[in-house]
């Protein structure tokens, strides 16, 4: 298949790009001329690349024919001081433009990276949920098949250092003296990056003939653990002496105390998570130590 992918230089997108190329797909990526391509630099000769800051989206869609599906993984979490308007532009307006162009080009499927978070938790969650609703509207009008992957807390080597999972793993991998944390009673569904990528491949291969125009899939392990358990497991597996100061940080306003993916629909397509939490943490710790990343 010829696939149009956003976010290929990011953590999730780079892993997905690598897998799609290895599966023999023709991958067209949208990036910026100044994007950090270190995660996929070895793959660039095998990709068709367009810089969205140098060429309009409409012109790109005119130049690329025969696309089977758009896969949207680019996102803005709002962790670097972006305004709510910036987050909305990145997570709602930009993909809506992509969706409209995909419909106009007669592309059959739009695979979206959604979230399991409550829409009113923060601007990121709200903007992601808003776009998923636009996708559902387009699908129910019969314009396109819209597939929304509602991701839980995915993690793995070389992830963004601003993410909680990465911060904890790097801190313990390098035996920092102390971590200040909440009480840690929140239940979270952690899933390793390889299993997330497998979910994307599974829906690409398993939704060709689906009757529904809008499809939603929870993507997680389906087995939540508390934040406290996760952090304690990381410290133990890293062999760290890091002091875990649970309760030093208050819970966020509107803190979600439990999230867990319903993976029934995804499993019906033949997908199962293969990497246990313990194995995923060990892989990530090893990779962080090999790279010598300092938290």
Q: What is the largest CA-CA distance in the chain?
A: 57
Residue 175 CA to residue 295 CA, distance in Å, equals 10
Q: Read off the pLDDT of each residue in 285-291 and give the average, rounded to a whole number.
A: 90
Structure tokens at 111: 């695979």
Q: Read off the pLDDT of each residue in 57-84 and give the average, rounded to a whole number.
A: 95
pLDDT score recorded for residue 292: 62
| Residue ranges per structural domain of the chain | 1-151
With both helix axes pointing from N to C terminus, report the angle between 164-173 and 277-291 in degrees, rounded to the nearest 10.
60
Residue 68 contacts residue 2 (beta carbons within 8 Å): yes
pLDDT score recorded for residue 254: 84
Q: What is the pLDDT of residues 226-282, one digit of tens each?
A: 999 999 999 999 999 999 999 999 998 888 999 999 999 999 999 999 999 999 999
What is the percent of the chain with per-residue pLDDT over 90, rounded to a whole number?
A: 91
Residue 110 CA to residue 223 CA, distance in Å, equals 28
Residue 247, phi then psi, degrees to nearest 5: 95, -5
Residue 238 contacts residue 172 (beta carbons within 8 Å): yes
Residue ranges of alpha helices (H) inside the chain are 11-22, 57-63, 84-88, 94-104, 123-140, 164-173, 193-206, 227-238, 264-267, 277-291
Residues 6 or more apart from 53 whose CB is under 8 A from it?
32, 33, 34
Short-list 150, 224, 140, 157, CA closest to 190? 224
**Confidence category of residue 186, pLDDT binned at 50, 70, 90:** very high
Q: What is the mean pLDDT of the chain?
A: 95
Residue 69 CA to residue 75 CA, distance in Å, equals 18
Q: What is the pLDDT of residues 97-112, one digit of tens each?
A: 999 999 999 999 999 9
pLDDT score recorded for residue 295: 36
- Name the CATH architecture for the domain at 1-151: 3-Layer(aba) Sandwich (3.40)
Q: Read off the pLDDT of each residue in 281-286 and give the average, rounded to a whole number.
A: 97
Neighbours of 136 (CB within 10 A): 16
Structure tokens at 99: 């969706």
pTM of the predicted structure, to 2 decimals: 0.94
């Amino acid at each position: 298949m010829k696939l149009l992918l956003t976010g290929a230089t990011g953590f999730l997108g780079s892993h997905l790009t690598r897998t799609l190329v290895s599966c023999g797909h023709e991958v067209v990526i949208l990036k910026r001329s100044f994007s950090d391509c270190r995660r996929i630099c070895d793959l660039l000769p095998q990709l068709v690349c367009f810089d969205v800051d140098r060429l309009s989206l409409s012109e790109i869609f005119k130049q690329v024919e025969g696309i089977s599906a758009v896969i949207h993984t680019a996102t803005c979490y709002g962790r670097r001081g972006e305004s709510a308007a910036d987050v909305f532009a990145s997570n709602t307006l930009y993909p809506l433009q992509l969706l409209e162009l995909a419909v106009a080009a007669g592309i059959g499927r739009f695979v979206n990276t959604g979230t399991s978070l409550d829409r009113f938790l923060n601007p990121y969650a709200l903007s992601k949920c808003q776009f998923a609703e636009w996708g559902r509207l387009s699908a129910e009008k019969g314009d396109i098949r819209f597939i929304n992957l509602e991701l839980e807390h995915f993690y793995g080597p070389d992830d963004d250092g601003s993410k909680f999972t990465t911060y904890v793993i790097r801190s313990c991998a390098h035996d920092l003296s102390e971590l200040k944390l909440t009480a840690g009673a929140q239940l979270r569904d952690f899933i390793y990056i390889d299993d997330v990528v497998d979910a994307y491949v599974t829906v690409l291969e398993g939704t060709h003939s689906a009757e529904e125009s809008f499809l939603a899939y929870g993507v997680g392990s389906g087995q939540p653990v508390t934040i406290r358990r996760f952090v304690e497991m990381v410290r133990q597996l890293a062999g760290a002496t890091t002091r875990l100061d649970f309760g030093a940080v208050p819970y966020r306003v509107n803190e979600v105390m439990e999230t867990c993916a319903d993976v029934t629909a995804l499993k019906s397509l033949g997908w199962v998570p293969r990497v246990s939490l313990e194995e995923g943490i060990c892989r990530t710790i090893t990779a962080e130590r090999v790279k010598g990343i300092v938290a």
